[in-house]
Structure 1
Amino acid sequence: MLLYAASDGSGLVQACSADYQSFCQDVKPGGGRVVACLRKHLAELTNSCRDTLRDIGPAGGDAPAVSTLIPAAPGSTLRDVSYGADPAQKIDVYIPDHPDHAAIVFMAHGGGWEFGDKAARTVVEPKAAYWRARQVIFVSANYRMLPQAAPLDQAADLARAVAYVQAHAQAWGGDPARVVLMGHSAGAHLVSLITVDPGIVSAAGVQPWLGTVSLDSAALDVPTLMQARHLPLYDRAFGKDPAAWATASPYQQLKTRPVPMLLICSTERATSCDSAEHMAAKIAQLGGKVTVKPLARSHMQINADVGADNEETTAIGDFLHTLGVG
């Protein structure tokens, strides 16, 4: 729907009627004036209007996404930004008050590859506030879930989201090269898989990033996990084919030195720290930089409490400091 190619009149006003009345009712349609006006208020628009604007392109060619054209307001939150056509392929972007070539923390939620949401309290709070206060952009991503998408497809979704973030970072006051990936549980498995599998990265167009934080994944070595006693959720995620286990396993796909990694694990779980140590040993053999941080915290606490005054926040802050992120 290239409304701008034909007109910015009634069609666009109908799609963004409330926003038009709030911000642009004195603007006469035609010549791109309504589009330009709405873009000036991008951070304040309804989600439906913002989504419509993303479809608008200039006559005779494809348009860049809106956020590449008009910077988002400092201190604003961009919600449900689409990085793909599927309804699940969306991100929320939390922009600090004074972004200036800001670093970006990209978060992938957990949920056993079956559920979870980018806006869940335990995913966002207090993380977004913590990094915003440090003038770091915080991005929280959704991705397709089982049974619609297997873990490899989910990793591809997240890689695509990272590429989108890098492509739009400058419009938010961010630096596309200063991205740190972070995920919890299933999300930790997925960001770890992205980190070690260059095929996933290159297919999505991801550019180099600074490092990766894994928050308590027990699925870093999927074949070992599946050959031992395990929860049924892993069967639903990885199936019964050993070849598929290896393809979706960060340990098996780790063949060259990755970006620096921080592997936080819960000592209250039977396999999490063993999995992290096993992965770290291989990274070290390949000449990579890796830190394993065992914590006497529950699987859920290691995620939900990031950003509060505790060991996991300190460990992540120290790791980011080594990457040049304050």
Structure 2
Amino acid sequence: MRSVVAGLTVWGLSVLLYAASDGSGLVQACSADYQSFCQDVKPGGGRVVACLRKHLAELTNSCRDTLRDIGPITGDTPRQSLPAPVSAAPGSVLRDVSYGADPAQKLDVYIPDHPDHAAIMFMAHGGGWEFGDKGAQNVVEPKASYWRARQVIFISANYRMLPQAAPVDQAADLARAIAYVQAHAQAWGGDPARVVLMGHSAGAHLVSLITVDEGIARSAGVQPWLGTVALDSAAMDVPALMQSRHLPLYDRAFGKDPAGWAAVSPYQQLKARPVPMLLICSTERATSCDSAERMAAKIAQLGGKVTIKPLARSHMQINAEVGADNEETTTIDTFLHTLGVG
């Protein structure tokens, strides 16, 4: 089969993909991916499409986007099928609001006392892509209290974890959650256009990936947002991370096959100017600030607005103490003011 495919004309390969996809447009978008991963799959019955989906994290962006156009990929939900909004009174907290069918796809909404077209801080927790919770003390407080006092809605979201969902699917979950928040923000007194993404550690990697990979946000129905705050991620450049000495948790998250690393790497997926970003990194970690500096340099080269802030704070402090009277909170506030929040 490999020798036959290698000798196919462009027209012949088109016939194969057309038969496999019912004319979905995979011909132009996925021909290279087909030859890389699915040459031995017999066309027909959707078998080639199924094969490509199994290699989602390794596909080119154009092929992934086309697959999403054909039908939902794990973690994708069309905007019109999002769960119905849950209304709440000012000053209340909505817990375990479902933004998807999976039990992990829930978020908490912390509404200020006087929301009026309020800005929204959307928080993604860390935990090495395999644990963590939206309600953990170091995720919520003092963040929620701090921003609610400033009449900003605070959202804390859960998402599926390893081994159930790979990082690319986790990013899709969070994009779905963002779309839900934007679709229903007005029910809470919020402004769907005034959303700021924030994540810590693995969560910082995921919100950064959503920020630079337009296909993830577009597939979930996410509308433009104001900016993104990444709290101490060492995984901005996944290939560089994996090719250097690293913790085993990164092997569990990204695997040992280099072919798939670029697809989940914010640095590699950064190809156009993103929304403004704030990258806070701990100088107490070996690779965090190096990773942030490389990311910031590429954003700047693309004409984007980026602020990098190295802090002599531990990885956990940079998360747990946001909202307290300290340098990281001041840095975030300054960034938010540039976005018109605060």
CA distance in 1, matches of 2:163, 2:317: 27
CA distance in 2, matches of 1:98, 1:63: 27
1:297 counterpart = 2:334: no
1:139-176 deviation digits (Å, cap 9, x = unpaired): 00000000000000000000000000000000000000
1:186 counterpart = 2:205: no
Correspondence for 1:15: none
Asked if 1 retains the 8 angstrom alpha-carbon contact of 2:97 and 2:106, the reply is yes
1:111-133 deviation digits (Å, cap 9, x = unpaired): 00000000000000000000000
- Given the alignment, which residue of 81, 84, 87 partners 1:65? 84
CA distance in 1, matches of 2:256, 2:95: 38
- Given the alignment, which residue of 197, 213, 221 partners 1:205? 221
Correspondence for 2:126: 110
Correspondence for 1:266: 282
Shift of 1:315: 0.3
**Structure 2 residue ranges without an equivalent (≥5):** 1-80
Shift of 1:64: 6.7
Matched letter for residue 187 of structure 1: G
- Given the alignment, which residue of 177, 185, 195 partners 2:211? 195
CA distance in 2, matches of 1:243, 1:316: 35
Shift of 1:243: 2.1
- Given the alignment, which residue of 166, 181, 189 partners 1:150? 166
Shift of 1:65: 1.2
Shift of 1:72: 1.4
What is the correspondence of 1:1-326 to structure 2 with a 5 Å cutoff? 65-67=84-86, 71-326=87-342
Shift of 1:241: 1.6
Shift of 1:305: 0.0
1:68-121 deviation digits (Å, cap 9, x = unpaired): xxx410000000000000000000000000000000000000000000000000
**Structure 1 residue ranges without an equivalent (≥5):** 1-61
Matched letter for residue 100 of structure 1: D
Matched letter for residue 223 of structure 1: P
Matched letter for residue 163 of structure 2: P
What is the SS of the residue equivalent to 1:300?
A: helix
Shift of 1:63: 10
Asked if 1 retains the 8 angstrom alpha-carbon contact of 2:85 and 2:187, the reply is no
Shift of 1:66: 4.0
Matched letter for residue 212 of structure 1: T
Matched letter for residue 304 of structure 1: A
Change in CA separation of 1:251 and 1:96 when aligned onto 2, cut-off 3 Å: same
CA distance in 2, matches of 1:308, 1:64: 34
What is the SS of the residue equivalent to 1:318?
A: helix
Shift of 1:256: 0.2
CA distance in 2, matches of 1:238, 1:232: 10
Matched letter for residue 331 of structure 2: A
1:199-249 deviation digits (Å, cap 9, x = unpaired): 101100000000000000000000000000000000000001212100000
Shift of 1:194: 0.2
Change in CA separation of 1:271 and 1:136 when aligned onto 2, cut-off 3 Å: same
Change in CA separation of 1:105 and 1:66 when aligned onto 2, cut-off 3 Å: closer
Change in CA separation of 1:63 and 1:263 when aligned onto 2, cut-off 3 Å: closer
**Superposition misfits of 4+ residues, deviation over 3 angstroms:** none
What is the SS of the residue equivalent to 1:104?
A: strand
Correspondence for 2:39: none
Change in CA separation of 1:319 and 1:66 when aligned onto 2, cut-off 3 Å: closer
Matched letter for residue 131 of structure 1: W
What is the TM-score with the length of structure 2 in the denominator?
A: 0.76
CA distance in 2, matches of 1:282, 1:66: 38
1:161-193 deviation digits (Å, cap 9, x = unpaired): 000000000000000000000000000000000
Matched letter for residue 181 of structure 1: L
CA distance in 1, matches of 2:85, 2:176: 18
